[in-house]
Each structure stands twice: as C-alpha cells, then as structure tokens.
Amino acid sequence: DTGVSQNPRHKITKRGQNVTFRCDPISEHNRLYWYRQTLGQGPEFLTYFQNEAQLEKSRLLSDRFSAERPKGSFSTLEIQRTEQGDSAMYLCASSFSGSSYNEQFFGPGTRLTVL
C-alpha cells in the first residue's frame, strides 16, 4: 500500500456540469476526510467519515455537494452544477482511529478548474 490515492489528479469542466472525484484511503484506515484548498490558503474541512458513516459536514458543503463512502472503503465526492467558485484543490486524507498518533495521511489532491 503506497498511501492515499486520488483520481483524477486534474479536472477541467464547464460551469453547470457535474463532476465526481474518488479517494482511496490507506487500506486499514477507518477514518476518511475531505478538505478543500484554494490558492494561498490552508485546507478547509468539508466532511468526515468513520467507516461508511458520514459523521460531520461543514457549512462549506452546500447541497450541490455530496460525499459517499460505501462499504467503508473508497470515497467519492460529487459536485453538481459546478460554479466557478468551486475551482480549488480537493484533498482527501485518512487515518486510523485506533492509533494514538491520529496522524492524517493526505493524498495528492484533485485540482478542479471550472470554466
């Protein structure tokens, strides 16, 4: 296992289109997080899963955003009717709740550009 992977790495779409991103966490990690990072800013929390349960969603996650984690493995983040303001880097991270360290391992991100 080489770490958290995210696909695609880059996505260019036209305003109004739907997009879906995928995150594959480290296999033994039961926690999965989505963050969004805009240029010149730190990552901002979007949502969190423990196993397959989505336990918290940020106010940043409007009703156009939906995230799933079926079977507690990979996760998908879908954005419907994209807007130019959705352009950002979308980061996925995973961790293991049984670890005393609770270190989150981040994936390389998916850079979304909405034209």
Which residues in this chain contact other proteins in the complex, by CB under 8 A?
31, 33, 35, 40-45, 48, 50, 55-56, 89, 91, 93, 95, 97, 101-109, 111
What is the per-residue DSSP string for 51-103? TTEEEEE-TTS-TTEEEE-GGGS-EEEEESS--GGG-EEEEEEEE-TT-SS-P
Q: Which is nearer to other proteins, 19 or 93 (CB)?
A: 93
Closest separation in Å from C-beta 113 to other proteins: 14
Q: What is the dihedral of CA 52, 63, 38, 34, to 10 degrees?
A: 0
Report, in Å, the least distance between residue 55 CB and other proteins.
Answer: 7
Q: How far is the CB of 15 from other proteins (least distance, A)?
A: 24
Rank residues 82 and 95 by Cβ distance to other proteins and give the closer one: 95
Decide whether 46 or 114 has the Cβ nearer to other proteins: 46
Least distance to other proteins, CB of residue 29, Å? 11
CB 59 within 8 A of CB 67: no
| CA–CA separation, 81 and 105 (whole Å) | 30
